[in-house]
A and B are shown apart, each in its own frame.
Chain A
């Protein structure tokens, strides 16, 4: 299989890699020892493989790695780059919004996006936004609390910045 070189920015760092045409984004991240995005259903349904490409959430098990060329990709590993957990990550801990944690990075990245778009979502809006993320431990009630909790944390932080 012919591998092609691509260049992209992974969590702020420039990376070069050789990839096969049928490598998915999760395949590539795995090779780069990034395990936060992980494959579960492999069909776009569970969100365990969520990554952000050019700032937008994407299904890493479907997206082809070759298409990352020239793009910015962010994974859960980049969220605490400054040593500080993000408001959403902290909210997950504070509300106990996970059990096994396998689905957690995907939910966290989706909620980061949700709150960027809609700082004060209703539960129903959050449900719609998160309908493509599955949690077999069914921490859903706590995940909804985490959304509310994170929204509040972000607002408080903004208030402090202003």
Chain B
């Protein structure tokens, strides 16, 4: 197995190296996910385009409207330890502490974490609940994609092979409060068996708006629309119905983390607990 490792110095050069028709050429940011796939033989690249040397793709900034822009090459550890992130989206800093381990977070980049498309990941559901979007660039220009729409199936995303995520944008959270509950089944440190991300705009116990996203137990991060609807219209009194709706509507997979039956039950419990946690925390 031989491949070429190229380290372009500009975004332009990187984009030029990618090829919409050749998925064996891949962008490589932290490489932590790619290396696992290469070592297990599920992916053999012809060319890896290392993004690490590209300036201007890292850094975390806040705009006047309170939104955060995180460069795609920011490492997960940079995001985890950023004071800005801790202030603006504490839920993200908290979730990162339990995502993989510190060595991987020192190397893995936020762009890679979003682009990977593995269902057993923590950030896609959480960033969806936070209503975040990615800014994507190719030789043909830029586009914005909501994280919620990005992953379309099992290891499948809307990204074309010649597109790069250049940044992540998280809107100002204002009166939105969030929680992310990661459930691991086989040991404390593990990929999630289930991730439940909850964002609520509320005053006291009164729910104004809500975003609920389940990940890891499903083939792709999935919005719990019906449950959201119930909570929007019935408020917290509708919680039991919302939980039931979530368990009924979502297609949960059997996998090495556990059976669908069990994970469905977990989903119900964690969903209820996270709504209660948020409302209780900010009451």
A–B touching in complex (CB under 8 Å): yes
Q: Which residue of A lies closest to B105 (CB)?
A: A132
Query: Chain A's nearest CB lies how many Å from the CB of B20?
Result: 24
Indicate if the CB atoms of B5 and A44 lie closer than 8 Å. no
In the complex, are the beta carbons of A131 and B188 less than 8 A apart? Answer: yes
Q: A2-B2, A66-B5, A67-B50 are in contact. Are A110 and B31 (CB under 8 A)?
A: no
Cβ B100 vs Cβ A22 within 8 A: no
CB pair B5–A42 under 8 Å, yes or no, is: no
B101 (CB) vs chain A CBs: closest residue:
A132
The yes or no answer to A56 lying at the interface (CB within 8 A) is yes
A66-B5, A67-B52 given; A42·B106 CB < 8 A: no
Q: Which residues of chain B come closer than 8 Å to A21, judged between CB atoms? A: 2-5, 48
Mask of B32-63 contacts with A, CB within 8 angstroms, 1/0: 10011011000000001010100000000000
Given contacts A42-B39, A62-B32, list 9 more A-B pairs with CB under 8 A: A20-B2, A22-B3, A24-B35, A44-B103, A58-B106, A59-B107, A67-B50, A113-B102, A128-B97
User: How many residues of chain A are within 8 Å of chain B by beta carbon?
Assistant: 28
Contact B2 A132 (CB under 8 A): no
Q: Of A22, A44, A63, which contacts B36 at CB under 8 A?
A: A44
Residues of chain A within 8 A of B97, CB atoms compared: 128
B3→A57 contact, CB < 8 A:
no
Contact between A59 and B103 (Cβ–Cβ < 8 Å)?
yes
Chain B nearest CB from A137 CB (Å) reads 17
Contacts of B16 in A (CB 8 A): none
Known: A44-B36, A64-B31, A64-B35. A57 touches B5 (CB 8 A): no
B31 touches A47 (CB 8 A): no
B175 CB, min distance to chain A CBs, angstroms: 30
Contact A63 to B107, CB < 8 A, known contacts A44-B101, A128-B97: yes
- The CA of A129 and the CA of B104, in the complex, are separated in Å by 11
Chain A residues with CB under 8 A of B4: 21
Q: Tell me the bound Cα distance from A51 to B3 in angstroms.
A: 25
Q: Chain A residues near B107 (CB, 8 Å)?
A: 58-59, 62-63
Least distance between A94 CB and chain B CB atoms (Å): 25
